[in-house]
Structure 1
């Protein structure tokens, strides 16, 4: 498979004053990301947990159809832990910033004995994007490439 690059212009969700960014994406990156989305959507008895509504919206924009929970809607770690402990597999997709790493540690500490915490997809997402995605909401930059809009 030949390697070509796509230039994507995408709106960033984090800034209400919309500005454009360029993201260079390879065909292999797009294919791997589509496969990752499909794998997560096929996970049975699983729930994806993100930090907030922008993260949830970004995942839905690129094709996530699985159950997505927003951590900040629970009003604290204890309420969150009590609410999600019934799920067999919890897929954490917190941001790679300081706050996201802190939340990941705290959630693992709270739930490691009550549920399976899955960090595989977070690591895989980082590998696929080459570290270009630091926050989950930035994944919306890939929307145009995933849905075939090439400029």
Structure 2
């Protein structure tokens, strides 16, 4: 069991490091809210993190704003709950229509690794701490 937990912790850490590298290259990551942004900053993700809820517009208008800023590619990292899955799908469609590439790799990988245990991005730092504790206790 502890080997499986250790492997999961390594995979999640590796994925977050890869995300940080992509964001530092100038590809913005789009999250739902400010708490998600704070969580990514705690996990050493630097660069442009854009919150959907801050724009106070519908997702189609948000996609248009992203297009206006001149982005050719974005990373979508919505929450793992029902609304997050719906927003990911819708926003991906709107961005595709605006000719902006949506990178869903990080969302899909994280969802596959922690989606049943974690419902939102803001919980990632605490999840990682608790996972390390579980590894240490086993």
Same fold by TM-score, threshold 0.5 exceeded? Answer: yes
User: Runs (4+) of structure 1 moved beyond 4 Å?
Assistant: 145-148
Q: Which position in structure 2 is the counterpart of 1:89?
A: 73
Q: Aligned partners of 1:65, 1:140: CA distance in 2, in Å?
A: 15
Further displaced range: 96-105 or 45-54: 96-105
Distance 1:40 1:62 in 2: 10
Gap regions ≥5 residues in structure 1? 6-24
Any idea what SS the aligned residue of 1:49 has?
strand
State whether structure 2 residue 14 is matched by structure 1 residue 50.
Answer: no
Distance in 1, Cα, partners of 2:128 & 2:81: 22
* Matching residue of 1:61: 42
Query: Hey, what does 1:20 align to over in structure 2?
Result: none
Relative to total residues, which structure has the larger helix share, 1 or 2? 2
Aligned-pair Cα RMSD in Å: 2.6
Q: Give the structure with the larger strand fraction.
A: 1
The number of residue pairs the alignment matches comes to 130
Per-residue CA deviation, residues 16-57 of structure 1 (Å, 9 max, x unaligned), is: xxxxxxxxx822122112211111111133111110011111
Residue from 108, 113, 134 that aligns with 1:128: 113
Q: Tell me, in whole angstroms, the C-alpha distance in 1 between the residues paired with 2:80 and 2:13.
A: 21
SS at match of 2:102: strand
Note the alpha carbon deviations across 1:90-136, whole angstroms, 9 max, x for none: 11111122221222222122110320011111111122326312211
Distance in structure 2 (CA, Å) of the matches to 1:64 and 1:119: 17
